[in-house]
Chains A and B, each alone.
Chain A
């Protein structure tokens, strides 16, 4: 057994174990971390295969950007508030099990019967070396034979970006305007001129305060003291139930 095969076995085993950890971990952040480990090991396997560009892209795009965003979202969610994260929904679980086994069977069948052994393409190691390395070779292939798919992908991603912007926008122009000009409440307070004669005047009653802008349908929270605010669930706080 050559050193390369040994290294591949180690990396592959870690990647598979980490992938199992993604499903088995009870804390979603741990799941995401296991996925990071799995991705990094897959990237290392790409390096053994001399696909350095693919390895770097895998780390930068998947580990460095997409999984960071996934973690970003997960960290804002309280794991205790996810009743369906584990257990429940027996139909879904059964369906997932059947589909998973079907996929596993397909892949195993393809591997065992050796029907997915690819034919070597025009890019032999010599041809790759002739254009200056696999990054250059990849660039040549992508931007000559596959220009249209790349452009289509770019347009698709642009559409997705615009779609996300539209979804994140408040519904109507009226609400949008309200979000922009948030209503301010001016609490009653002594004026400077009243302070001038050296006597500190008594605070005006709370009722003397005014609402500066039309608040629309937004709920305004009026709190007399700091404790009033604490009755409401604060962002990120664990609920005692």
Chain B
């Protein structure tokens, strides 16, 4: 076993994990600032310069609060559920390629934690596991609002996971691989049409797949306008009604980490990841992911929440058929169309 490579991989994973956790804290700051700007307010500005210490103050506040367990709660499940959500959330960053290979102290370091040959399926599997945190948290609270939130979440995640998976099939058909590193490499080869160089980003060849992925990803992360599991106007707090202190913050943090991870995934799958017009590098990935994160917040300020039946109708009657059509079209083009070009 190559211990140096193992160690360098481990250190890189450690860095990625900590960067994700730090970003997540400042994601809340970014969200509050953008929300404030869109609603003609100022947002946090008192704590530190430009309010930059606000996330830290929030974190200390949440950690210092009392951890309440309801009397009728299923105690063990209640205690474990938020941990499950939180532990699974940053794992999907492990397969995101942040660049190629660089040499540090004479040692080749891969700028990704793991190049799994089923990387995209791995991310989908993590999403499928992550919903357990919400379902179990809602069930264990012994509260009807929580249970309703959990049930909504179960139905919503199952419906939209199908759309999420199928929207990516077009990308697999074009790239011929499930590995994110190889999908990124495929996008880095520019296409040329009669001398005009066009980046081979899959958003250009898979526009429908991209839109479907974007919608399903917002639903998977339980963000507005698909935040029915925690719809505060109907369900108080939904699945996390009974949670307080740091257990609540685990759910909260998991949601933000999921947003960041999904944005990184979308940037890698459809926007060419670290590929850019000049000076390829991780900054392009960061810029593209920031674009998606801004889009998330933009959606939240703009759109009202879906009604529950509309949510299900959208997934099964609109998005699913569109995803299947996209797969069929992409398959046909892959079979015959590429020869015509």
Residues of A participating in the B interface, judged by any CB pair closer than 8 Å: 27, 29-30, 33, 36, 40, 52-53, 55-57, 59-60, 63-65, 68-69, 71-72, 75-76, 132-135, 236
Q: Are B154 and A36 in contact (CB under 8 A)?
A: no
* Interface-facing stretch out of B62-70, B122-130, B299-307: B122-130
A23 CB to closest chain B CB, in angstroms? 19
Q: Are B124 and A72 in contact (CB under 8 A)?
A: no
Q: Are A75 and B125 in contact (CB under 8 A)?
A: no
B139 within 8 A of A: yes
Q: Are B116 and A52 in contact (CB under 8 A)?
A: yes
Q: Are B154 and A71 in contact (CB under 8 A)?
A: yes
Q: Are A68 and B125 in contact (CB under 8 A)?
A: no
Q: Are B125 and A64 in contact (CB under 8 A)?
A: yes
Q: Are A56 and B74 in contact (CB under 8 A)?
A: no
Q: Are B150 and A75 in contact (CB under 8 A)?
A: yes
B132 within 8 A of A: yes
Among all A-B residue pairs, the 10 with the closest Cβ atoms? A64-B128, A56-B121, A59-B125, A52-B118, A133-B117, A72-B154, A56-B118, A60-B125, A56-B125, A75-B139
Q: Which of B142-178 contact A (CB under 8 A)?
A: 144, 147, 150-151, 154-155, 157-158, 161, 165, 176-178
Q: Are B147 and A63 in contact (CB under 8 A)?
A: no
Chain A residues lying within 8 Å of B124, measured Cβ to Cβ, are 56, 60, 64
B144 CB to closest chain A CB, in angstroms? 6
Chain A residues lying within 8 Å of B116, measured Cβ to Cβ, are 52
Q: Are B151 and A75 in contact (CB under 8 A)?
A: yes
Identify the interface centre among A68, A133, A134: most chain B CB within 10 Å of its CB: A68
Q: How far is the CA of A65 from the CA of B144 in the complex (A)?
A: 23
Q: Are B178 and A29 in contact (CB under 8 A)?
A: no
Our pick among A27, A33, A53, A69 for the contact of B136 (Cβ within 8 Å) is: A33
Nearest chain B residue, comparing its CB with the CB of A68: B154
Chain B residues lying within 8 Å of A30, measured Cβ to Cβ, are 77
Q: Are B121 and A60 in contact (CB under 8 A)?
A: yes
A53-B121, A65-B161, A69-B154 given; A60·B74 CB < 8 A: no
B267 within 8 A of A: no
9 A-B pairs whose Cβ atoms sit less than 8 Å apart in the complex: A27-B74, A40-B129, A57-B121, A60-B121, A63-B128, A65-B161, A71-B154, A72-B135, A135-B117
Q: How far is the CA of A36 from the CA of B118 in the complex (A)?
A: 21
B131 within 8 A of A: yes
Q: Are B158 and A36 in contact (CB under 8 A)?
A: no
Q: How far is the CA of A33 from the CA of B178 in the complex (A)?
A: 30
Nearest chain B residue, comparing its CB with the CB of A29: B139
Q: How far is the CA of A239 from the CA of B132 in the complex (A)?
A: 27
Chain A residues lying within 8 Å of B139, measured Cβ to Cβ, are 29, 71, 75
A29-B139, A52-B116, A71-B135 given; A64·B121 CB < 8 A: no
Q: How far is the CA of A36 from the CA of B125 in the complex (A)?
A: 13
B88 CB to closest chain A CB, in angstroms? 11
Chain B residues lying within 8 Å of A27, measured Cβ to Cβ, are 74
Chain A residues lying within 8 Å of B151, measured Cβ to Cβ, are 72, 75-76
Q: How far is the CA of A70 from the CA of B116 in the complex (A)?
A: 30
B171 CB to closest chain A CB, in angstroms? 14
Chain A residues lying within 8 Å of B155, measured Cβ to Cβ, are 72
Q: Are A59 and B74 in contact (CB under 8 A)?
A: no
Q: How far is the CA of A86 from the CA of B203 in the complex (A)?
A: 55
Q: How far is the CA of A85 from the CA of B147 in the complex (A)?
A: 22
Q: Are B144 and A236 in contact (CB under 8 A)?
A: yes
Chain A residues lying within 8 Å of B128, measured Cβ to Cβ, are 59-60, 63-65, 68
A236 CB to closest chain B CB, in angstroms? 6
Q: Are B127 and A75 in contact (CB under 8 A)?
A: no
Q: How far is the CA of A7 from the CA of B271 in the complex (A)?
A: 39
Chain A residues lying within 8 Å of B154, measured Cβ to Cβ, are 68-69, 71-72
A68-B131, A75-B151, A236-B144 given; A56·B122 CB < 8 A: yes
Nearest chain A residue, comparing its CB with the CB of B139: A75
Q: How far is the CA of A40 from the CA of B139 in the complex (A)?
A: 21
Chain B residues lying within 8 Å of A63, measured Cβ to Cβ, are 125, 128-129
Our pick among A76, A135, A236 for the contact of B178 (Cβ within 8 Å) is: A135
**CB 8 Å contact bits of B288-312 with A (1 = contact, 0 = none):** 0000000000000000000000000
